[in-house]
Amino acid sequence: MKNFIFFVCIGGIILIAGCVTPEQYQLLETRINTLEMENSQQTSVREERSARNFKMQEDLENFQGKLEETTKATRENYAEIKYEIQQIQEKFQQMEGLVEEINHAFGSNSQTRQGDLEKRLDRLDNAISRNYEKVINLEKYMGFEPSDTIQAEPSINKPIPGPEKSSEQELYDLAKKLFDDGDKESARIQFENFINKYPDSKNADNARFWIADSYYAEKWYEKAILEYQKVLETYPDSNKTAAARLKQGYAFAELGEKANARLILKELIKRHPDSDEARYASKKLKTLN
């Protein structure tokens, strides 16, 4: 309804000014209404796709839940292993004390027995060392801090803290970077998030314009026309209005609708006669005759 009132007002102004015939206005209004219907159909398709994505997200969350359970079980196993190693270490220390007592009791005449016992202790020590290596590797894999008993080992990298919530400018810059890098779909999502989160931002009109431009770049001209129209209706004082009219005219021309393209480009020249966009519009009009 809002769009209908808007176009009626525009049509009245144009008719009073004598610049556009009623037939031309009716043709443009009919075309834009048709595009809105087509956009509604596309929106339904995208909503269905969003529902499928939501289902996939639920499946992913269920998988993450199972993964967390597995991780919990692994942590418990790790604690048990660590306790067993500590017990082995204590027994090893007790055996070392026993060896010292044997040496003291038998003196130099017990060298053979002492050698055998030391070999056994070496094998036990090696087994303990291998278990410690397993613990270290497990700690690295799980991202745990090293235990007190193995502080001499190389330090384990701490988990990188997650990013802080994006500020207004950071969110806009992220979306613009995605746009400049050619990831138009992701850029649109981030620009929409930006507009929803900061509707009164000074960059809200720019975000809406870049959404329209992303569709234009993908040659989805019908959708681009509607998004440029949102710039004109929602942000009439924006510095993007001239560019929005220009690209809207270009989009109609790409669709082969020269009459609508000429109408919009002439309106651009009338409203912004001294702009660069007006000069581009004049050049484009020469090719639409």
- What is the pLDDT at residue 37? 77
- What is the pLDDT at residue 52? 75
- What is the pLDDT at residue 136? 57
Q: Would you say 8 and 238 are in contact if contact means Cβ atoms under 8 Å apart?
A: no
- What is the pLDDT at residue 161? 41
pTM of this prediction? 0.48
Name residues whose C-beta falls within 8 Å of residue 92's C-beta, 6 or more positions apart in sequence. Answer: 121, 124, 125, 128
Rounded Cα distance between 82 and 146, Å, is 11
- What is the pLDDT at residue 75? 65
C-alpha to C-alpha distances, 151 to 13, 43, 78, 147, 155, nearest whole angstrom: 80, 58, 17, 6, 8
Q: What letter represents residue 186's amino acid?
A: S
Of the candidates 289, 214, 217, 222, the one whose C-alpha atom is nearest the C-alpha of residue 255 is 222
pLDDT, one tens digit for every residue, the chain (289 residues): 555 555 555 555 555 445 556 666 677 877 887 888 777 777 877 787 778 777 777 776 776 676 667 656 656 666 666 667 667 667 667 766 765 665 565 554 455 556 666 666 666 666 665 555 555 555 554 544 444 443 433 333 434 344 444 589 999 999 999 999 999 999 999 999 999 999 999 999 999 999 999 999 999 999 999 999 999 999 999 999 999 999 999 999 999 999 999 999 999 999 999 999 999 999 999 998 7
- What is the pLDDT at residue 74? 59
- What is the pLDDT at residue 148? 44
- What is the pLDDT at residue 146? 45
- What is the pLDDT at residue 63? 66
Rounded Cα distance between 249 and 267, Å, is 10
Q: Would you say 235 and 204 are in contact if contact means Cβ atoms under 8 Å apart?
A: yes
Rounded Cα distance between 240 and 193, Å, is 20
